[in-house]
Amino acid sequence: MAWVPGRLGSAAREILTTAMADHPDPAPEAISGPSFREIALPFWSGSARRIAWALTLGVVVVVSANVGVLFAINRWSKSFFDTLDQRQIEAIPRMILIFLALLGLSAVINYGMVRLRMGLQAEWRRWLTSRLIGRWLGERTYYKLEVASTGVDVPEARMSDDLKQSLTPVVDLSVGLFNATLATITFIGVLALVGREVQIPRQGGVLTIPYGFVLAAVCYALVMSCLTWVIGRPLIAAVEEQNSAEADLRFELTRVRESAESIALIKGEDEEKRRLTGSLTRLATAIWIIGANHGRITILTNMSAILLPVIPLLIGAPKYIQGGMSLGELMQVSAAFVQVQMAFNWVMDNFIVLASWRAAANRLSVLIGGMDELERTIHGPDDTLIELREDDGQELRLIGLEVRRDDGIVVIDEAEGVITRGERVLVGGESGTGKSTLIRAIAGLWPWGSGQIIIPKSWHIMFLPQTPYLPLGSLRGCLSYPNPPETLSDSDAARVLDRVGLSHFQPRLDDEDRWSHVLSGGERQRIAFARVLLERPDLVVMDEATSALDDDSQSRVMQALVEELPEAALISVAHRPGLDAYHSRRLELKRLDGGVRLVKGDRIGRRLDTRFGRLFNTFGRIQRVEKAVKGPAPVPDPRGKLPGTHDP
């Protein structure tokens, strides 16, 4: 979308020129999603339809009652001005009491309207947000959106801010439109029945125009609405650009906060400031453009506000002077004319709201379109995907496994393998061969590809990523996650903390803190190992799970793992030295014939002497025959030696 300065001042043009030089036009979001109607209207036909219809009918009733009160006030104004015209002073107290009664009734009705309107907004938002969150979290879509090339950014903002801005105005605008429609019908009736014809004096007589007040109201409203559309149409694009710029600035600020340590270490503040300044300039430019368009609309609305009360009086004055209508009827018709214009000017009054709504609805649609596109890309060109299933066996099997990227490019084109209970397998291979992607496929996070991954039904599996997740709350909650904190006893917590070298945190077990910031990277990885010791899974899958640990800490947590879980299978992706000693064999991902294949590796068994930092070979001749590998790897004893090893 190109930026057009229009009639901005020199300062605004300078800002705009700078922004366009530093930030070329952003590419529009390529994904198109369902329409807003398809997204939101099932609220009235799905599981929440009862409360949806109840609130909707309640709004209809109170809006109708509100228009009824407005009509009653309109009738009251006729009687009141007729009373003044006839100088009936004794009727004034009664007229005041009637007005106060109408005022009180209007207050009650408007209170009910606000409650029902906001209740409808709350329930509609609850329903749609729950659906989107369920779909986002279901099938681990939240993860797949991050690794797939859908182009959907900040889904959390789309499900919160954009969803709110999509639904809230719809309720407000719908209530306003319904109120405007009823008011138009009601007060056009007043103009037709009370005002009747318009009499315009002319030379030689009087020109009578049947239903002249109605025609004048309609013509005036059409002219003002057309002018509003012509003048304000560029505002829609400008508001969309502002919302996009707001989202980009928020994303940039979040990225700086999340990468604060890395930026600080390399002293990247100047570059980040330059980027943020550019994003801020783009936002300011968009606001300047909105201001220019909004200013034009404001001129139009202010002129209309001044003219509106005068026009019906000017039109009706000749008829009143000639005795064709009373003062009360003239004032009643004038008030009705204003009400009709307020109803007809609904579009003009809500133009900016409509523009903001459209921009937010488009971003919400892109999110849903991204999830739809993700589901389509999971199936390959031949409509296949990786089948992850369970059976009654006692071994993990990879059968004809092919792993692809979401764009169809093959990452691993042949993978066969069997891992039995108690085996500990180290997956190796050069960078870019897809080791971590293979781990994601086993975890069920990577569906793109074909073949089968068969996991024993009775196995409990735990995955240890490079950066473990620590929830907000107490340290006990971090240890027990994803189970509730109250399920973890003090004795179990103390035991596992001691095994992984974090016993000094035992006094802070119930302290509430942001532990992901309090603990170092290595300490967070040791918390992950403590979870494994508590859960005692049958299969542990590690992806660079010891990358932040020093040699002593790595030896400590791995020794605890093999000692406490000797029957558990282990799959590790790692580049750290010293891990070979805790694995029984290696599988290699190798580039063969233009593709990457999983091939059988060596039997291994090395350890790292942490005192001298030297590698000692714990096996003599490497056995290359797969069937010769039986049982778990040798377990280091407390003195740091493996059974069968000798000092050099």
Is residue 289 scored above 70 in pLDDT?
yes
Assess whether 161 and 254 both reside in one domain: yes
Arithmetic mean of pLDDT over the chain: 78
Mean pLDDT along residues 450-463:
89
Assess whether 60 and 154 both reside in one domain: yes
Whether 474 is in a domain gets the answer no
| Helix, coil or strand: residue 502 | coil
Assess whether 181 and 289 both reside in one domain: yes
Confidence at 380, pLDDT banded by 50, 70, 90: low
**Listed residues 325, 347, 377: the one ending a domain:** 377
Mutual angle of helices 49-85 and 163-190, in 10-degree steps: 40
Is residue 107 scored above 80 in pLDDT?
yes
Confidence at 53, pLDDT banded by 50, 70, 90: very high
Find, among 386, 380, 398, the residue nearest to 598 by Cα.
Answer: 398
Is residue 2 scored above 70 in pLDDT?
no
573, 544 contact by CB (below 8 A): yes
Exposed/middle/buried for 589, CB within 10 Å: 0-12, 13-18, 19+?
buried
Whether 519 is in a domain gets the answer no
DSSP H helices in 23-48: 36-40
Of 188-197, 297-306, 405-414, 477-486, least confident by mean pLDDT is 405-414
pTM higher than 0.75: no
List the structure tokens of 330: 């003239």
Whether 191 is in a domain gets the answer yes
Assess whether 180 and 309 both reside in one domain: yes
**Domain containing 354 — which CATH number?**
1.20.1560.10
Assess whether 189 and 321 both reside in one domain: yes
Q: Cα angle at 197 between 192 and 202, to 5 degrees?
A: 155
Find, among 576, 584, 567, the residue nearest to 543 by Cα.
Answer: 576
> Rounded to an integer, what distance in angstroms lies between the CA atom of residue 84 and that of residue 626?
108
Mean pLDDT along residues 140-159:
73
Buried b (16+ CB within 10 A) or exposed e, 369-402: bbbbbbeebbebeeeebbebeeeeeebbbbeebb
Which residues sit opposite 381 in a β-bridge?
Answer: none
> Rounded to an integer, what distance in angstroms lies between the CA atom of residue 372 and that of residue 311?
54
Assess whether 355 and 414 both reside in one domain: no
Assess whether 421 and 286 both reside in one domain: no
> Rounded to an integer, what distance in angstroms lies between the CA atom of residue 230 and that of residue 544?
60
What is the gyration radius of the CA atoms in the chain, in angstroms? 36
Find, among 233, 122, 116, the residue nearest to 175 by Cα.
Answer: 116
**Domain containing 619 — which CATH number?**
3.40.50.300
Is residue 183 scored above 80 in pLDDT?
yes
Is residue 63 scored above 50 in pLDDT?
yes
Assess whether 423 and 274 both reside in one domain: no
> Rounded to an integer, what distance in angstroms lies between the CA atom of residue 13 and that of residue 28?
23
Whether 53 is in a domain gets the answer yes
**What per-residue confidence (pLDDT) applies to 570?**
92
542, 573 contact by CB (below 8 A): yes
546, 516 contact by CB (below 8 A): no
Whether 501 is in a domain gets the answer no
Mean pLDDT along residues 113-124:
91
Confidence at 150, pLDDT banded by 50, 70, 90: low
Q: Is the peptide bond before 482 cis (omega within 30 degrees of 0)?
A: yes
| Helix, coil or strand: residue 418 | strand
Q: Read out DSSP for 213-241? A: HHHHHHHHHHHHHHHHHHHHTHHHHHHHH
Buried b (16+ CB within 10 A) or exposed e, 462-479: bbbbbebebeebbbbbbb
DSSP state of 545: T
- For the chain, helix (H) and strand (E) counts, in that order, are 21, 16
Which tens digit of pLDDT belongs to each residue from 559-610?
A: 999 999 999 999 988 877 788 888 888 877 776 665 555 555 554 443 333 3
Identify which has the larger pLDDT, 297 or 63. Answer: 63
Find, among 607, 524, 529, the residue nearest to 568 by Cα.
Answer: 529
Which tens digit of pLDDT belongs to each residue from 232-284?
A: 777 777 877 887 788 788 888 888 887 887 888 788 888 888 888 888 998 89
Whether 463 is in a domain gets the answer no
Assess whether 142 and 115 both reside in one domain: yes
Which residues have C-beta within 8 Å of that of residue 437, sequence separation ≥ 6? 403, 411, 412, 446
Confidence at 629, pLDDT banded by 50, 70, 90: very low
Confidence at 54, pLDDT banded by 50, 70, 90: very high
162, 360 contact by CB (below 8 A): yes
DSSP state of 25: P
**What per-residue confidence (pLDDT) applies to 522?**
92
Is residue 475 scored above 90 in pLDDT?
yes
Domain range holding 343?
Answer: 10-377
Which tens digit of pLDDT belongs to each residue from 408-438?
A: 777 777 778 888 888 998 887 777 677 888 8
> Rounded to an integer, what distance in angstroms lies between the CA atom of residue 508 and that of residue 271?
39
Which residues have C-beta within 8 Å of that of residue 77, sequence separation ≥ 6? 328, 331, 332, 335
Sign (positive/negative) of CA torsion 612, 615, 620, 625?
A: positive
Assess whether 35 and 77 both reside in one domain: yes
> Rounded to an integer, what distance in angstroms lies between the CA atom of residue 200 and that of residue 636?
109
Of 98-107, 118-127, 253-262, least confident by mean pLDDT is 253-262
**Listed residues 319, 354, 377: the one ending a domain:** 377
Whether 513 is in a domain gets the answer no
**What per-residue confidence (pLDDT) applies to 170?**
84
Which tens digit of pLDDT belongs to each residue from 4-43?
A: 333 333 333 333 333 333 333 334 454 567 777 888 888 8
Mean pLDDT along residues 279-295:
87
| Helix, coil or strand: residue 330 | helix
Domain total in the chain: 2
Assess whether 309 and 423 both reside in one domain: no
> Rounded to an integer, what distance in angstroms lies between the CA atom of residue 187 and that of residue 21?
54
Identify which has the larger pLDDT, 257 or 406. Answer: 257
**What per-residue confidence (pLDDT) applies to 12?**
35
**Listed residues 340, 356, 377: the one ending a domain:** 377
Tell me the C-alpha to C-alpha distance, in Å, between residue 263 and each of 280, 468, 500, 523.
20, 22, 31, 22
Say which residue the tokens 């002593």 belong to: 552
Would residue 88 be called left, alpha or beta, if left means φ above 0 and alpha means ψ between -120 and 50 degrees? beta
Which residues have C-beta within 8 Å of that of residue 586, sequence separation ≥ 6? 425, 426, 427, 428, 580, 601, 602, 603, 604
Q: 188 — phi, psi (to 5°)?
A: -65, -35
Find, among 180, 182, 296, 289, the residue nearest to 228 by Cα.
Answer: 296
Of 80-94, 143-157, 462-476, 591-605, least confident by mean pLDDT is 591-605
Assess whether 92 and 168 both reside in one domain: yes
Whether 269 is in a domain gets the answer yes
Letter for the amino acid at 204?
G
Is residue 465 scored above 60 in pLDDT?
yes
Share of the chain above pLDDT 90, in %: 19
Confidence at 647, pLDDT banded by 50, 70, 90: very low
Q: Read out DSSP for 567-579? A: T-EEEEE---TTG
| Helix, coil or strand: residue 637 | coil
| Helix, coil or strand: residue 485 | helix
394, 456 contact by CB (below 8 A): yes
Q: Which of 8-22, 83-97, 303-317, 362-376 has the highest mean pLDDT?
A: 83-97
